[in-house]
Amino acid sequence: MAAEAELLDELRQLKARVPQLTGALAASVDGLVLAQDTTTVEAEGIAALTAAALGVAVRLTDATGQGAFRELLVRGEDGYVATYAAGSSAVLTLLAEPRINVGRLHLEARRAGVRIGALVDSARENA
């Protein structure tokens, strides 16, 4: 698996670029935490819920002919939860304040997802 330190560094850099992020985690598609930078929620629980939501999102995109899963955005009264594909076997889940610029969130998260996916996929190939 990708070095947790490299993944954690990527999460921290993302949070530095987007200050309205309140939490970030990289997880496997089956719900295991790979790295996390959050203090407000239990990362293991969020990773498990992300895996469940991912299952529904993948089925929804398949059923509607929209292609492979790329991202999922949930807006609540107090902020956002966003999940992005990160390579073939991981996802990036972010928690954000309600005042975040969603376009900026997508831009930065998509880029980070590519980098995280490359780290995870490379580690899986080397294992």
Determine the pLDDT at residue 68: 93
pLDDT at 1 over 80: no
Summarize pLDDT for 80-98 with one digit per residue, the tens.
999 999 998 999 999 999 9
CA dihedral 84, 90, 2, 116 (to 10 degrees): -20
Provide the mean pLDDT of the chain.
Answer: 94
What pLDDT was estimated at residue 3? 75
- How large is the average pLDDT for residues 11-30? 97
What pLDDT score does 113 carry?
97
CB 80 within 8 A of CB 18: no
> Is pLDDT of 4 > 90?
no
CA distances from 100 to 83, 118, 125 (A): 15, 27, 36
Judged against a pLDDT cut of 60, whether residue 77 lies above it is answered with: yes
Backbone angles phi, psi at 69, to 5 degrees: -60, 140
* Confidence check: pLDDT of 123 > 70: yes
